[in-house]
Chains A and B, each alone.
Chain A
Amino acid sequence: MTGQPEPLKAVPVRHPGRWVAVAVIVVLAAMFAHLLLTNDAFHWSFMFRNMFTPAVLRGVQGTLLMTVLAMFFGIALGIGVAIARLSPNPVLRGVAWVYTWVFRAVPRLVLLALLGNLNILWPQISFGVPFDTYIGKIFGITDLHLRVFEGQTRNLLTGFVAGLIGLALSEAAYMAEIVRAGMQSIDPGQEEAATALGMRRSQTLRRIVLPQAMRVIIPPTGNETIAMLKDTSLLIYVPVTAELFFQLSAVGSRTFLPFPMYVAASLWYLAMVSVLLVGQHFLERYFARGHRTEQARIRLAGIAGEQGGTL
């Protein structure tokens, strides 16, 4: 390339504050490391011996499975609730509003405790014609039972199932708000264009609005997934045994050394969340396709390529 002007030579702005900050951080980090290594109460070797036992690893498995399932059902139900919330049908709108109101108001911990103890309220669960015994009375039949299916609550609603239902129901309420915000962020012109082409509302939502809303929905959903992974530790109140925090706490209380096991839990969650963060990064990049900033990047790369350089 000929005739390219020489870049400006100038003394860059100095940032002495940054060097001071680095010094302070180094000292603080050294103090923290010193604290970790010198305090015997950490029981490091005990912790490492006990944080990879088969029971704990099964707990990790259970935590991951629960996170995936709870998010899957939470997102699916949440999209449904969001669509209902924006529906022209006033009945659907009302039901969706009540749903998000209730499940955002009840704390997850309380909801899980409630679901874990439903067998106190109803020892049996059955499906069939509602109010069958009352209807029987009207026609003079005592004890009319029109049931398709009956079972013990304890067997149907195991800890895992109760925990999954609780987390998924609660998550759906938050996801509904996220999805709704995402859908409302899309230019109304998009829906109009799709409508003018003869697409129906369901097609417009599925093909035009939701795919674009994804760009807005994905980042908070990543945060929700991370929060969900951590909230599985609340399952100890259902209780669910096939879960990481339950297993580590069990070791802690059995050995009267709870603190090292809490540190172990922190390290496990830290590791798992780190993996999720990487996944979130790639998801966000995928759903940004066709969007302005991403396009600008592609275009710049193209221009750079034409001129024989790289970006």
Chain B
Amino acid sequence: MTVPDAPPPHVMVRADQVHKYFGRLEVLRGIDLTVNAGQVCVLLGPSGSGKSTFLRCINHLEKVTSGRIWVAGDLMGYRQRGDKLYELRDKQIAAQRRDIGMVFQRFNLFPHLTALQNVMEAPLRVKSEPREQVREQAKALLDRVGLADKAASYPAQLSGGQQQRVAIARALAMRPKLMLFDEPTSALDPELVGEVLDVMQGLARDGMTMIVVTHEIGFAREVGHQVVFMDAGVVVESGSPREVIDNPREERTRAFLAKVL
């Protein structure tokens, strides 16, 4: 068996034949994916197609059953010596995750901390940066997502859209190289979706590498550099938004798009 090499530096994420089982259920069936630095990759597909699971494999929240994932040149969760793999310790995996921001469908803000404290928590505890510097950075990030005036609010005092924007600021506070978005607007009232997508679009414009699981086809078409359509644990087709959304080759993709458009 040949051992795949680490990808070249301009590749932010490479997944190589990723399989994932939950018990005997095969959720991912050999996913290959390459996302270049500065690109936005949108994962589309029906629920249960494995998009979210794949996203969670990228930052090792889920362990892959087989296959490999590299992020910014690091093999996630393992160290390779020769053709032998060694599992990384909890501490080392945590260090790998620092470069990867994640935004969740249900925000998962820390409810016992204010918006500002939510954004400050990780740089303070994980990177042990000086408090004043962290506070200034957190204020700037809240300002960037349009919530400078909500710094002292607790999550329960914010609307869903505001909470999700705080969550994005919280992830950015670690100055990640890659941002993962797991259906960031699916839990929002329709009128609040726009404000979150605007923030994400701004991030993309600033050159952030992003992988976005979403059902927002408009966002995929406008912001995505690469669109990947997944179904039943495999990549059905991928390419530019023009190719996948406007001229899908596969019948399965066409059927899905017909339902969501």
Contacts and interface: CB of A to CB of B under 8 A. Distances in A.
Contacts of B157: 295, 298-299
Given A197-B174, A291-B111, A203 B156 contact: no
22 contacts: A189-B104, A192-B108, A193-B102, A193-B110, A196-B59, A197-B102, A197-B126, A197-B170, A198-B95, A198-B126, A198-B174, A199-B122, A199-B125, A201-B90, A203-B125, A203-B126, A207-B125, A211-B112, A212-B110, A290-B155, A291-B111, A295-B156
Majority secondary structure, A binding face: helix
A214 to B, nearest CB: 8
Contacts of A189: 104, 106, 108
Contact of A198 (B98, B108, B156): B98
B88 interface: no
Interface residues of A, number: 25
Q: Which of A196, A199, A200, A201 has the most CB of B within 10 A?
A: A196
Interface string B213-247: 00000000000000000000000000000000000
A205 to B, nearest CB: 12
Interface residues of B, number: 31
Contact of A197 (B106, B113, B122): B122
Contacts of A193: 102, 104, 108-110, 167
A197 B121 contact: yes
Interface string B87-104: 000110011011011101
B171 interface: yes
A54 to B, nearest CB: 46
B108 A190 contact: yes
A290 B111 CA distance: 6
Interface string A174-209: 000000000000010110111111111101000110
B4 to A, nearest CB: 25
Given A187-B108, A212-B112, A295-B157, A207 B121 contact: yes
Nearest to B106: A189
Contacts of A295: 154, 156-157
Contacts of B110: 190, 193-194, 208, 212
A197 B97 contact: yes
Nearest to A212: B112
Contacts of B112: 211-212, 289-291
A292 interface: yes
A199 B94 contact: yes
From A187, A198, A200, A291, residue with most partner B Cβ within 10 Å? A198
Interface in B156-197: 156-157, 167, 170-171, 174
A196 B156 contact: no
Given A193-B109, A197-B170, A200-B90, 20 more contacts: A187-B108, A189-B108, A192-B61, A196-B59, A196-B101, A196-B102, A196-B171, A197-B97, A197-B174, A199-B122, A200-B94, A203-B126, A207-B121, A208-B110, A212-B110, A289-B112, A290-B112, A291-B111, A291-B112, A298-B157
A220 B110 CA distance: 23
Contact of A195 (B61, B95, B109): B61
Contacts of B98: 197-198
Complex A-B, nearest 4 residue pairs according to Cβ-Cβ distance, in ascending order: A198-B98, A193-B108, A196-B102, A295-B156
B92 to A, nearest CB: 10
Interface in B118-137: 121-122, 125-126
